[in-house]
Amino acid sequence: MDRSAIERVAMISLHTSPLDQPGTGDAGGMNVYVVEVARRLAARGIAVDVFTRATRSSLPPVVPVEDGITVHHVHAGPFEGLTKEELPGQLCVFAREVLRAEAAQPLGHFDVVHSHYWLSGQVGALARDRWGVPLVHSMHTMAKVKNEALALGDTPEPAARVIGEEQVVEAADVLIANTDLEAKQLINLYDADPGRVEVVHPGVDTTLFRPLDAAGRAAARRDRGLPADALVLLFAGRIQPLKAPDVLLRAVAELLERRPDLRSRLVVPVVGGPSGSGLDRPTSLANLSAELGIDDVVRFVPPVPQTDLAGWYAAATLVAVPSYNESFGLVAAEAQAAGAPVVAAAVGGLTTVVRDGHSGLLVDTHEPHDWALALERVAADPTYRDRLAAGALDQARQFSWEATAAQTLAAYERAHRIMRAPLRLPDERNR
């Protein structure tokens, strides 16, 4: 490329806006990822334009978020009532509007396209060829991986998504994987070129998610109506089968059968809202807690801002992440940065984020009995819990958004070096 550095990035996050509240709908770790990487790139003097689909008519077309970051709300399809599964039908109009926005700028406005999730990758591939700049793609989740570890009652990802992901893998100049395991999955399941796969760990905002002293933890509990001596087993995330909050509730029921003496102190906050197939049965988790006879210890909390979530981590005895799959596991990373031990499923990126026996425990099944034993081991032994809490802080030091942004920028620059010749669109061939 002519310039010595990347100056402007087009980020495409079609199905969920970085301005949305994580923990409900389709908003989650990917939203946090896009915002935090954009912020760190902007701090390096790189302008970032994020294109996302408008979901309300009241949203302004362009929102300057902070210095160097602009969010574009693209009109594509009805504002409300459109599920993620229906979004492929809006790819053409979304892509048209993205290309139109760039066409209003001077030639060579963007230096790179970074797409997030396969839907965005489809648009990114078109933009790549139109603009003559490289496409860097982050999968975040993959259909083939999800279908191999499908949660009970969840719906398999459709064949159309699998095909779409294969096309994006083929089109991208560089693929960013969250972990070594995800890189192997891209290569083995999607036939990705190993030379075009870069492993870049997501990070943690350690200025927000940080350990508190005893007085700070006591205040965090008091502010959330939690007894000072409570054993707080926290779940934070979207309520859907993939995230497996039901596994935690069933394990809590078994734990109380084993240790009825813990009941007077046990509190199980479930922080988040229904998402995905969980929207079909929004009350199922509350119904389950009643059926299990543990509704006296379970507390349902709507999604909260990141600043409030940090307080929940600080108030927790442990954080449970029983997901059937996670490409990384930001909740686990954030919890550890706040000094909370994590009990997590030994799946996907969680095996990278959580160091078994050091920062928490990894459970290699989703059986309530196994989870109950793991929860009891951490919650009922203060000495062991304190040792894991110290290990959690140590483990969290591996993950920073500054490092993520630096490695992402290096991936952008590498994409320029290895970019294959762009395909010429029909209206450009005779120019």
Scan for tokens 């069933």, then name that residue. Answer: 250
Q: Is 28 annotated as a binding residue?
A: yes
CA angle 152, 156, 158 (to 5 degrees): 170
Is there a contact between 54 and 73 (Cβ–Cβ < 8 Å)?
yes
Is there a contact between 75 and 37 (Cβ–Cβ < 8 Å)?
no
Q: How far apart are CA 51 and CA 113, in angstroms?
A: 11
Q: Is 428 annotated as a binding residue?
A: no
Q: Is 304 annotated as a binding residue?
A: yes
Q: Is 184 annotated as a binding residue?
A: no
Coil, strand or helix at 271: strand
Q: Is 324 annotated as a binding residue?
A: no
Q: Is 137 annotated as a binding residue?
A: no
Q: Is 29 annotated as a binding residue?
A: yes
Q: How far apart are CA 192 and CA 186, in angstroms?
A: 6
Q: How far apart are CA 326 and CA 244, in angstroms?
A: 11
Strand ranges across the sheet with 112-116: 62-66, 69-74, 47-53, 8-12, 112-116, 135-138, 174-177, 197-199
Helix (H) or strand (E) holding 138: strand 135-138
Q: Is 298 annotated as a binding residue?
A: no
Q: How far apart are CA 298 and CA 368, in angstroms?
A: 16
Q: Is 334 annotated as a binding residue?
A: yes
Max Cα-Cα span within the chain: 79
Q: Is 129 annotated as a binding residue?
A: no
Whole-Å CA distances, 286 to 203, 265, 292, 293: 32, 20, 10, 11
Residue 190 structure tokens = 């999607």
Q: Is 101 annotated as a binding residue?
A: no
Q: Is 30 annotated as a binding residue?
A: yes
- Cβ contacts of 415-423, under 8 Å, gap ≥ 24: 415/112, 415/134, 415/135, 415/136, 415/173, 415/174, 416/1, 416/111, 416/112, 416/133, 416/134, 418/134, 418/173, 418/174, 418/195, 418/196, 419/133, 419/134, 419/173, 420/173, 422/128, 422/129, 422/132, 423/129
Q: Is 384 annotated as a binding residue?
A: no
Q: Is 114 annotated as a binding residue?
A: no
Annotated binding site for UDP-N-acetyl-alpha-D-glucosamine: 21-22, 29, 238, 243, 304, 326, 334
Annotated binding site: 15, 21-22, 26-31, 84, 117, 141, 161, 238, 243, 304, 313, 316, 326, 334
Annotated binding site for 1D-myo-inositol 3-phosphate: 15, 26-31, 84, 117, 141, 161
Annotated binding site for Mg(2+): 313, 316
